[in-house]
């Protein structure tokens, strides 16, 4: 099985899920397009989606580049931590934005680990 | 011809075009940076760009992963529906945000189709 | 050395850096999540991050597609101009949003160059 592709697709599925929650929050809290503010609960759902969008643009390139230089199962494992971190981020941000720290750390640290893995891989490859 | 690369580049060209429209709307409706609100027509142009940005992060990975497991011309065909859907979304959202449904569906359904194609491809590949 | 991967990772590192600046600006200017407005300096930092996010979704696909059809060192060189352009954009936008033109041009023109390189590459490849 291609674990890297699977992790990448699950990250996309997760983003689709967060986007659906934003659409539902529009209806539930009466925030009509094009507005993206006006009700605290809508704004929380929207920020979860936007923050995940921001991280995806870091996560996906770092995931695929790191996987060029290191065994796929380790890199996919780091990716799995990211997926769990995002779920925790979503649950805690929706409950109380101030408690988003753990979920954020558990999704940001894997991104940083993949970036370092990628950079070390490129440099080792150039040196060798 | 590499149809997948072509579809991906056209999706990027489309996003560049929507970004240019946002820049023009800034001038026309007097919304000075860093503000991203203040005039309904500017906000519509901005939401078209942002919604397309959100979809691109789903569309591009799903496009390339699906193309690893299925014939390129079918996957590129699904991608072409996405491109047309985005054009309809832009036209209808700018005219009246409430009418954005069709264009949204025609760009979201291809993304979901590509995600399913990718997941089925990965699983079939692992099983076979 | 894989120059394309290196440029792509450095672009991601740059986006991480801009995101960290937004987090710091939240604390410094007292803009509590989920709000993304309320203080001009916070909004500037946020717009730098968002604009870079928008460009990344154009830059990374164009970079990798162009690199399929042209020598990696030229394409990586165009990518390096993008990285410098983004640094100038950040410095000038934070100082005064109205002066963001040069930095924006130096990051947008490389994106357009990569798009054209990719499209010409695909067409030449199909014709040959």
Using one digit for the tens of pLDDT, what is the confidence trace for C25-42?
999 999 988 888 889 999
pTM metric for this prediction: 0.95
* CA proximity to A106, closest of A92, A90, A89: A89
- pLDDT value at A128 more than 90: no
Using one digit for the tens of pLDDT, what is the confidence trace for C95-128?
998 888 999 999 999 999 999 999 999 999 988 7
- pLDDT value at A62 more than 90: yes
Residue C97 is predicted with a pLDDT of: 87
Question: How close is the nearest chain C Cα to the Cα of A84, in Å?
Answer: 20
**C-alpha dist (Å) from residue A88 to A97, A101, B54, B81:** 12, 10, 21, 35
Contacts of C15 (CB under 8 A, 6+ apart): A54, A57, A58, C49, C52, C53, C56
Pick from C40, C57, C118: which is nearest to B15 by CB? C57
Residue B127 is predicted with a pLDDT of: 84
Residue B109: what are its φ and ψ, rounded to 5°?
Answer: -60, -45
Supply the mean pLDDT for chain B.
95
**C-alpha dist (Å) from residue C19 to B26, B124, C23, C90:** 24, 39, 6, 12
Residue listed under structure tokens 């924006």: C104
- pLDDT value at A119 more than 90: yes
Please give the average per-residue pLDDT across B28-57, as a whole number: 93
Which one of C54, C99, C120 makes the best mutation probe of the B interface by having the most chain B beta carbons within 10 Å? C54
The answer to whether the Cβ–Cβ distance between C122 and B34 falls below 8 Å is no
Give CA–CA dist C49/C126, Å, rounded.
38
Tokens, residue C44: 């500037």
Cβ contact C99:C92 at 8 Å: yes
Residue A97 is predicted with a pLDDT of: 87
Which one of B8, B65, B105, B120 makes the best mutation probe of the A interface by having the most chain A beta carbons within 10 Å? B65
**C-alpha dist (Å) from residue B77 to A81, B70, B84, B86, C54:** 34, 12, 11, 15, 25
Element containing residue B77 per DSSP (H, E): helix B72-95
Using one digit for the tens of pLDDT, what is the confidence trace for C48-72?
999 999 999 999 999 999 999 999 9
Tokens, residue B15: 């996003």
Give the number of other CB atoms < 10 A from CB of residue B40: 11
Using CA coordinates, name the residue in chain B closest to A18: B54
- pLDDT value at A1 more than 90: no
Of the two residues C61 and A1, the one the predictor is more confident about is C61
Cβ contact A82:A11 at 8 Å: yes
Residue C37 is predicted with a pLDDT of: 87
Residue A109 is predicted with a pLDDT of: 98
Using one digit for the tens of pLDDT, what is the confidence trace for A75-101?
999 999 999 999 999 999 999 988 889
Please give the average per-residue pLDDT across A1-10, as a whole number: 94
Residues of C in Cβ contact (< 8 Å) with B6: 119, 122
Yes or no: domain A3-123 corresponds to CATH 1.20.120.550: yes
Residues of B in Cβ contact (< 8 Å) with C65: 5, 8-9
Output DSSP code: residue C39.
S
Residue B51 is predicted with a pLDDT of: 95
Locate the domains of chain B by residue range. 3-123
Q: Give the ipTM of the model, two decimals please.
A: 0.93
The answer to whether the Cβ–Cβ distance between C60 and A65 falls below 8 Å is no
Element containing residue C4 per DSSP (H, E): helix C3-29
In chain A the first and final C-alpha atoms are separated, in Å, by 29
Task: Kindly report the CATH number that applies to the domain delimited by C3-127.
Answer: 1.20.120.550
Share of chain B above pLDDT 90, in %: 88
Using one digit for the tens of pLDDT, what is the confidence trace for A23-57?
999 999 999 888 888 899 999 999 999 999 999 99
Give the number of other CB atoms < 10 A from CB of residue B30: 11
Residue A19 is predicted with a pLDDT of: 95
Question: How close is the nearest chain C Cα to the Cα of A99, in Å?
Answer: 11
């Amino acid at each position: 099985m291609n674990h890297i592709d699977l992790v990448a697709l699950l990250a996309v599925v997760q983003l689709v899920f967060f986007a659906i929650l934003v659409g539902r929050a529009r209806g539930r809290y009466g925030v009509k397009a094009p507005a993206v503010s006006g009700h605290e609960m809508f704004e929380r759902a929207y920020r979860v989606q936007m923050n995940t969008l921001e991280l995806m643009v870091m996560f996906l390139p770092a995931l695929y580049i790191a996987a060029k230089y290191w065994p796929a199962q380790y890199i996919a494992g780091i990716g799995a931590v990211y997926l769990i971190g995002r779920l925790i981020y979503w649950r805690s941000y929706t409950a109380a934005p101030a408690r988003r720290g753990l979920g954020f750390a558990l999704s940001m640290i894997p991104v940083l680990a993949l970036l370092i893995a990628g950079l070390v891989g490129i440099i080792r490859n150039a040196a060798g």
